[in-house]
Structure 1
Amino acid sequence: MADEPDDLPELDVPVGMFEDIEDLKAQVASLTALVKKLTGGDDAEPGEASDDEEGETAGGETVEEEDEEEEWQYPPFILLLDPPEYDDELRALIEWVEGVLVPGYLAEPSADARWCHLWWEHPVAIARLHALWLAWQELTDPASCGYTGPSVWHRDHLDPALRELRGSSGPFAGCTKGEHQIDHRMPSLVPSAWSHAED
């Protein structure tokens, strides 16, 4: 039985196919080695998956879980959220604006530098301030941006955002000191954001 039967059909396999397969093997081995290096994997030979890795990728559950964690690593833009996530994000934004931005950066409102004390009822203000806050979270962390991040945040984010928000044609154009223009209101948005019981 060691001899091959004489009646096997001759297969006309192009030589290039074998080269392609060898190239694919080399690429898989290289990628496997890179993944192990980046994830601190064991010292197995490139191209050889451990039993644990095979079990994890066979079901795809672990890979999907890791993808979901990476997907939610950064907070989403507020206008893409629905309640109750929107309400929670708005509450956090209000805390940042009222606790950091207003006392630290906003002088008394004037005709040239408007501000509305009910800014959270202006959709454009919510969008711009949330974008500003997201940039602040990233650019004030030396681990993600080094020590020049705050300077970049002031130049590229804070100054343009305040010019747009506080300008005479900005979202607060109809609001005067102590008065709020009702036309800009977003009914029930802020009350629902504050309606959650404190933990």
Structure 2
Amino acid sequence: MADEEGLPDFEVPVGLFQDLEDLKAEVARLAGQVKQLTGGTGDADRGEASEGEASEGEEESAGGEAENEAGEGGGEEEEEGFPPFILLLDPPQYDDELRLLVEWVEGVLVPGYLAEPSADARWCHLWFEHPVAIARLHAVWLAWQELTDPATCGYTGPSVWHRDHLDPCLRELRPSSGPFAGCTKGEHQVDHRLPSIVPSAWSRPED
């Protein structure tokens, strides 16, 4: 017979309900095992975790590439941060560094600190042909770049530069026995510091 809603009237076997309950219990048991094996995450959680792992992996790879690039760039900065001794440079690096040094010496040092040359305070207008002068003035110039920057030296940098760098350098370059000893105003001698042949005390002069 049909009920009031027009649905068929039939009896459901009792065993079918028992089978359904058994299936539900089995599914619940399997789901519990899955959670234990996956660390307590379900399908949705596993999906989010996999996406999170992928994003973390991408971030790590991107971070690694950025670190590698930074490392490569950092190497250049470190190399730039430790200027080499100018006399050890080869062209064209030596020429470029010397050109910058000449601009500083002629633009800052000569007009600001060098008075008229004299016998006790010598100066050579071709100082850049004297390796000793190049080496000392280059060191003073490097110190000037560091010690006139408030970010690296504060307010005492200029005083330290005068005391520890400029004054000792000029004392070595400008005396009558310094590298410009053979250079006078309007004259220039590059080879005046080269050792000459010293006669041996064991040899006899020719008659």
TM-score tier after normalising by the smaller chain length:
0.5 to 0.7
- Is the alpha carbon distance of 1:67 and 1:50 closer, same or farther for their aligned partners in structure 2, counting shifts above 3 Å? farther
Cα distance in structure 2, aligned partners of 1:137 and 1:117: 23
Give the equivalent residue in structure 1 for 2:172.
164
Residue 117 of structure 2 corresponds to residue 109 of structure 1 = yes
Pair 1:128 & 2:136 matched: yes
Cα distance between partner residues in 2 of 1:131 and 1:58: 35
Gaps of 5+ in 2: 1-55, 194-207
Question: 1:61 deviation in Å?
Answer: 5.0
Moved >3 Å (runs of 4+): 48-55, 57-62
Give the Cα separation in 2 of the matches to 1:89 and 1:105: 22
Where relative contact order (Cα < 8 A, 6+ residues apart) is larger, the structure is 1
Residue 87 (structure 1) aligned to one of 92, 95, 113: 95
- 1:71 is matched with 79
Q: CA RMSD in A?
A: 2.6
Report the structure number with the largest CA radius of gyration.
2
Q: Distance in 1 between matches of 2:158 and 2:57?
A: 44
Alpha-carbon offset, residue 184 of structure 1: 5.4
How many residues are paired up?
138
How many Å separate the matches in 1 of 2:79 and 2:129? 29
Provide, for residues 124-168 of structure 1, a one-character-per-residue CA deviation record: whole Å limited to 9, x for no partner. Answer: 000000000000000000110001100000010000000000011
Q: Which residue of 2 aligns with 1:151?
A: 159
- Partners of 1:49 and 1:112 lie apart in 2 by 71
Structure 1 gaps of 5+ residues are 1-47, 186-199
With normalisation by structure 2, the TM-score equals: 0.60
Q: Quote the Cα distance in structure 2 between the aligned partners of 1:150 and 1:164.
A: 20
Cα distance change of structure 1 residues 105 and 53 upon mapping to structure 2, 3 Å threshold: farther
Q: Which amino acid aligns with 2:176?
A: S
Q: Percent identity?
A: 80
